[in-house]
Structure 1
């Protein structure tokens, strides 16, 4: 008996579907489509497999291997019966193996998650999926680790997708909220990823027959009250002379966050690049207005944030004699020191407890929206955001914006 995987071109010749044929005693018969669609050039004719560098190659080749296994199961079963059979009888036996899911063991949820992580690493034109940024891949990995820790906590390390029902999802939500102390929005996002992986396993892995959370809907929680510095608080922090070098450096770096809107990783990357590459800041460019700007592809999304040089940024860079001389501490060290700074400056208790590097991005957004009167569209360009709905996570218009609009209308 011979098993053949044949490439059939689609109407669009750039793509093909893979079909299965069997040959036995000089007879050939087509078993039908494997439901695997690939770019035509990604098929290895000699190996009868998807090329290893093709998107999702490992998953698609695993499916082909499973089909081969089913065929051999049926073939060996007929041989054991010691009765003569032809290729049509062999086809019927193969189809019965597929129906009965013979010898297919359902993998654990974590094993499926690991397969999912491999599958999403490469862009897939067939699924219209673009290449994911390192930051996004890291977030998926963090969700996987969080789910693993939950299964360890529950002593159910080998739990299957088919066993992960709504009640188990509620327990996972409660564990993240009460044990891990994650913010509501973080809990919401991680539950969405868990559902995404469960659906992926059900759709792509023959062993996964069911997922109880396939159709479950999540209501997005209201965003937390934005933590940011008012313009008065920002001026106090900017002009204050701290007694210790460590506090002063953190305060100065925080001023940069408050006037660039970068996340921690983005500003750190800008500074690190100037320290490793002849002190050249590759993020600096001349804008169409002839002035100096910062253009930075965000680590999280790869969307380019386009930030004009505000006066405070010039002042900090001149103070330290260049970007390469800026000292940026770890994220946790920055956040801890910022709380000490807020306490020293007599800021409100809520700000002392919750201030972090993230407050810099929100401080800039609030200042531009409610003090300078920028539009959401302009903020999206500066922050490197594609969807306007995300602007509200950083700033909301208030009565200051109303006053600005009233003044404009009276002019």
Structure 2
């Protein structure tokens, strides 16, 4: 929507000097917002034409010419700022005219400022993993601007549809990002652009017509049979045994890697039912999670009780090594799936809970999801569930068996 812009010259009341002359003021109005400043010119009130905002009588030509120059300059500044994609206000026009030039905002400088502020908020309003994702996005954006434009930074006003499309292509080709990873980086970048828009540093949102959508993916999980395969297979080394135990722990608690890593003795407590529960907060979302401690994960905790240093409950190693060893376990067990530690959380949702009839809203609470819609992605109809459902359905018609045997008897 186009903004309204007007300029008015008037005499400032109460500014009369000893010789009776009053100061001529300029008033800028944009969409009802006003800014004003002195033109440094003065005139006798009797020589001021209020209707046209000009001087009449002696010295009229010289002063009116100067006022025309002021008007022309203000108009030019307003239209230049609009063209350069600034969020134009009365103050930006006034400051430019008075020589206080607008600082040219750049995207990487704004990104860096945002990330520095976010770093200070880690543990308060933002998690460390989220901060790190912003940092990775900034690094990719830095490399893109250097590679594509040979610049160390880019003016915010030059961020447009073409720039975003170029960055998306860079993420896919140079950074080898898959579709959903690319979309995630673009979403973090879009957040910075929205902040710039909200702070008046951009007049338009270049992402307004740029659609980025996540693709639905098949979240890997193990069946009950595959869990049994891993449990029955003897682990040839201690490291594989530890990784096996940690993975099974996740399969029966739904805890993500970072939450297992941070698990402490005070997180295992008796609840209202007199039974042991895991009571913690998800590191990713800071949401409280209370999970009843089933027998299988309790056996794993008992196995390592008092054996680890620094009060650790489980022998956690780095996530990268964990996933590498899990692939090794998958190979020796003959499980042809992309086995990662996070697959344990998916297995808890799909096989251990939803697959056994636990209601969706209960599973959502156990997983620490803020919205039940997030949990619905796990509510898939597996072949095992189809088999069980059809077996129950078959039992409904058991009384018809004798009739069918008679009806379908061979001649």
TM-score normalised according to structure 1 size = 0.67
Distance 1:176 1:268 in 2: 31
Cα distance, 1:370 vs structure 2: 4.6
162 and 221 in structure 1: CA distance in 2 versus 1, 3 angstrom threshold: farther
Residue in structure 1 matching 2:259, options 246, 266, 275:
266
Cα distance, 1:408 vs structure 2: 7.2
State the match for 1:364 in structure 2: 348
State the match for 2:197 in structure 1: 202
1:79-98 map, 5 Å: 83-84=41-42, 98=92
180 and 98 in structure 1: CA distance in 2 versus 1, 3 angstrom threshold: closer
Residue in structure 2 matching 1:112, options 107, 110, 113:
110
Distance 2:134 2:157 in 1: 21
State the match for 2:370 in structure 1: 386
Distance 1:287 1:307 in 2: 10
State the match for 1:345 in structure 2: 333
Cα distance, 1:174 vs structure 2: 2.5
Q: Which has the higher Rg, Structure 1 or Structure 2?
A: 2
Contact (CA 8 Å) 1:370, 1:397: kept in 2 or not? no
Q: 1:164-193 CA distances to partner (integer Å, 9 max, x unpaired)?
A: 222322222232233333342222222122
SS at match of 1:307: strand
SS at match of 2:279: strand
Distance 1:148 1:396 in 2: 40
Contact (CA 8 Å) 1:113, 1:144: kept in 2 or not? yes
395 and 342 in structure 1: CA distance in 2 versus 1, 3 angstrom threshold: farther
Contact (CA 8 Å) 2:360, 2:376: kept in 1 or not? no
Residue in structure 2 matching 1:185, options 155, 180, 190:
180
Distance 1:334 1:163 in 2: 43
Specify every segment of 5 or more residues in structure 1 that has no aligned partner in the other structure, as ranges: 1-21, 34-69, 124-129, 275-280
Contact (CA 8 Å) 1:161, 1:211: kept in 2 or not? no
Distance 2:348 2:43 in 1: 77
Contact (CA 8 Å) 1:136, 1:301: kept in 2 or not? no
Aligned Cα RMSD in Å? 4.0
Contact (CA 8 Å) 2:252, 2:352: kept in 1 or not? no
Distance 1:173 1:384 in 2: 32
Residue in structure 2 matching 1:296, options 280, 287, 291:
280
Q: 1:287-337 CA distances to partner (integer Å, 9 max, x unpaired)?
A: 332211112211111011221112211111122225725221111111111
Distance 1:303 1:261 in 2: 14
Determine if the alignment matches structure 1 residue 327 to structure 2 residue 318: no
Cα distance, 1:393 vs structure 2: 4.2
SS at match of 2:269: strand
Contact (CA 8 Å) 1:162, 1:210: kept in 2 or not? no
* Count of matched residue pairs: 327
Distance 1:212 1:247 in 2: 50
